[in-house]
Structure 1
Amino acid sequence: MPGLESTSGVGVTVENIGRLPSDIFAEMCQQVLAHLQGQTSAVDLPKISDTLQRNGIELEWKALQNIVRLLSNNFRTAARSSLTADQLVARLVEGGGQWAKAALQVLHQLWSEHGALVHTYQEAHAMASIGQLVDLQWKLGMAVSSDTCRSLNSPYVSLLLKVADTAGEVTYKSFEMSIPQFQNFHQQFKEMAAALETV
């Protein structure tokens, strides 16, 4: 079953999960489930990392990312396949890796509570799978050199977009526009806002 795969990388991730106390692992799972239900725009990895450090648990950033990705992939796959909590745990055990009994109990309990909600949200989200704009920052500056401005000392607008993709990964997009380009951009946003008000 895709998403519930067994590779050496997954085996290491499963071992790392087994080293976590049940309450901290449950908190991680709840954050992933909240994201998959649309309650948060992304999983807050820095917050999870802080929790681990406060509890004296050493885990590299990449290992933490791998745990969150594994949980997210398995929960998404379980939602797509409409798996019950028993079926999810059985598939994880069949898929390999030495899952700790305590971790499987946490997964079973949380999937029993949240599985149906994740399934419903993921179905709706699949119909409109686009990224989500999390933040937009801008600043006005003067061009010293540019490919798009014809003369130096021309004003420009610099934009930085923070976007969460459908997998919950946050990326940054930056670009610059001349004042006429920005005015056109602004007008399009006004038109979109007006159209959304009529919905």
Structure 2
Amino acid sequence: MPSAEESHGPGVVVHVCRIPAELLAQVCQHILAFLQGHTSGVDSAEAARSFQRAGVRLDDGVLQDVTRFLLLTFRSAGKRNISADELVSELDGGGSKWSKAALQVLHGSWSEHRAAVHAQQEARAMLSIGQVLDLQWKLGMAVSSDSCRSLNSPYVTLLLKILKPSGETSQRSFEMTIPQFQNFHQQFREMAALLETV
């Protein structure tokens, strides 16, 4: 997969190929479970423990690079909905020296989980909304405003820092009257109460 190889270089492929097939399959399963929405992330500490139990020494940074590479590879393949044969062909044709065993593991893992990963990627694309990173507010007094009827009315300014699905951050600010802010606060309390029941 060119995008993943370009971002990590051919050196990561060497490390992937040195991982025994059984351990590589476990790493792939963890990554694919995450991409299908079954887990909240890839547990690199658990992967490191699996490597230690198997007697395989791999630096933490290398393991993170391998995990990121495989994550990008499978995510890209899921977005494009390519077959396992196409995935292996792209990887093998990318200029890096892949071992047959590593390509077989990737082929088998992708064959088994391709449909579910693609469905999850499509759902995420349709539901892509930003994530609130930070919310700041301040109370002020209106000197002039479109929404306040009289001057010297109190208002609340909200500043939201949002992480877009593309990875970019942006800031949005808006003003509310005190009754609007109270309504906003009540809606947040109701959402929090509902989330506790989930």
Q: Which TM-score applies when normalising by structure 2?
A: 0.66
Aligned length: 151
Alpha-carbon separation, structure 1, partners of 2:65 and 2:43: 14
Counting only pairs closer than 5 Å after superposition, residues 2-21 of structure 1 correspond to structure 2 as 3-6=3-6, 9-21=8-20
Q: Which amino acid aligns with 1:93?
A: D
Counting only pairs closer than 5 Å after superposition, residues 158-169 of structure 1 correspond to structure 2 as none
Shift of 1:185: 9.7
Aligned: 1:23 with 2:22: yes
Bigger Cα Rg:
2
Shift of 1:61: 1.1
Q: CA RMSD in A?
A: 3.1
Q: SS at 2:9's partner residue?
A: helix
Counting only pairs closer than 5 Å after superposition, residues 1-199 of structure 1 correspond to structure 2 as 3-6=3-6, 9-129=8-128, 187-193=186-192
Shift of 1:127: 2.4
Q: SS at 1:23's partner residue?
A: helix
Q: SS at 1:97's partner residue?
A: coil
> Which stretch of structure 1 is more off in the superposition, 119-128 or 101-110?
119-128
Contact 1:2 1:77 in 2 (8 A): no
Alpha-carbon separation, structure 1, partners of 2:77 and 2:126: 18
Contact 2:24 2:102 in 1 (8 A): yes
Shift of 1:129: 3.4
Query: RCO higher in 1 or 2 (8 Å CA, sep ≥ 6)?
Result: 1
Q: Which runs of at least 4 in structure 1 moved beyond 6 Å after TM superposition?
A: 194-197
Shift of 1:82: 1.2
Partner of 1:173: none
Same amino acid, percent of matched pairs: 49
Shift of 1:80: 1.3
Shift of 1:196: 7.3
